[in-house]
């Protein structure tokens, strides 16, 4: 936010949180289930994905229907925007990005099961009037981060394949690049030069990738970065922390980091959904 406050989701604690510029934490909304991503609208309401209450083998005490929801911070009122698209129930909504057409674009990843039975993922667009449209059935690839360019091209990351993908308006999906082993792409942001900043989970940092798919840099952050955003010459990182895979989940070790990087974001689109 303009005052330096970071809004983020705590999946394991089933709530949305605020972190002030000085590092003070406070609870914004206890939503149950498993919130995944948050995004401000032009109305300054908080749009967030609700995956239902799952992450790996973890299940929330209070399960919720997978959905896209919106929190009015001034009143505390929460509105459900959608829980299905074209009769297809949402499986586990993941990330969000506004598009230049005013629509809110969302990945629906399905449940995390790379070594077992997986569900087909999807790219979905919700119009300013609240109409949900299936843009693409991605298949069993676990689409995670999503971003849009000024010409309406949709970019997304695939965790199971380690690919960054794109689809121009009216076009077909095409591969931008495949990341090296150990660089599972969790989120995707575009900087002012059109480069992609990709949270590489096991690599403990962010890959910087040109629009033609060349990896030109790496920003180490430590831990297991899940998401990030560029603001004011800094990369703000939501990090799972020094997670120990030998221990059962949930492990409450997450961190919010601000890493000086001198990069600026692509001019942000911001809209609202009429509810």
Mean pLDDT along residues 172-179: 98
Between 53 and 262, residue with greater pLDDT: 53
Q: What is the pLDDT of residue 131?
A: 96
Query: Is the predicted pLDDT of residue 168 greater than 80, yes or no?
Result: yes
Tokens representing 269 are 């689109």
Give the confidence band of 118 by pLDDT, cuts at 50, 70, 90. Answer: confident
CB atoms within 10 A of CB 95: 25
Q: What is the pLDDT of residue 117?
A: 72
Query: Is the predicted pLDDT of residue 2 greater than 90, yes or no?
Result: no
Query: Is the predicted pLDDT of residue 262 greater than 90, yes or no?
Result: no
Mean pLDDT along residues 85-113: 95
| pTM confidence score | 0.96
Is the bond into 250 cis (omega within 30 degrees of 0)? yes
Q: What is the pLDDT of residue 249?
A: 77
Q: Which residues contact 99 (CB under 8 A, 6 or more apart)?
A: 105, 125, 148, 152, 154, 269
Q: Any idea where the domains of the chain sit in the sequence?
A: 6-260
**CA 167 – CA 152 distance, rounded (Å):** 9
Mean pLDDT along residues 43-63: 93
CATH ID of 6-260, from 2.120.10.30, 3.10.20.30, 3.10.450.50, 1.20.120.530: 2.120.10.30
**CA 70 – CA 96 distance, rounded (Å):** 12
């Amino acid at each position: 936010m303009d005052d330096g406050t970071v809004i983020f989701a705590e999946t394991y604690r089933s709530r949305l949180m605020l972190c002030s510029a000085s590092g003070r934490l406070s609870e914004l909304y206890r939503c149950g289930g498993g919130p995944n991503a948050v995004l401000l609208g032009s109305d300054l309401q908080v749009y967030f994905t609700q995956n239902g209450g799952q992450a790996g083998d973890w299940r929330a005490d209070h399960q919720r229907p997978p959905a896209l929801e919106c929190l009015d911070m001034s009143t505390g009122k929460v509105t459900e925007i959608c829980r299905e698209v074209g009769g297809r129930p949402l499986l586990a909504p993941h990330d969000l990005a506004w598009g230049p057409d005013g629509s809110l674009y969302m990945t629906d990843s399905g449940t995390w099961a790379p070594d077992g039975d997986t569900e087909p993922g999807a790219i979905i667009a919700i119009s300013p009037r609240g109409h949900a449209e299936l843009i693409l059935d991605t298949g069993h690839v676990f689409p995670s981060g999503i971003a849009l360019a000024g010409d309406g091209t949709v970019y997304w990351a695939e965790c199971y394949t380690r690919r960054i993908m794109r689809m121009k308006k009216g076009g077909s999906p095409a591969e931008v690049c495949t990341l090296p082993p150990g660089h599972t792409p969790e989120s995707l942001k575009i900087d002012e030069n059109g480069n992609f900043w990709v949270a590489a989970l096991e690599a403990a940092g962010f890959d910087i990738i040109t629009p033609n798919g060349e990896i030109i840099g790496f920003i180490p952050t430590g831990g297991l970065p899940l998401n990030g955003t560029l603001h004011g010459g800094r990369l703000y990182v939501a990090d799972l922390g020094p997670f120990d895979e030998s221990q059962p989940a949930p492990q409450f070790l997450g961190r919010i980091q601000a890493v000086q990087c001198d990069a600026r974001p692509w001019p942000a689109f911001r809209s609202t959904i009429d509810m």
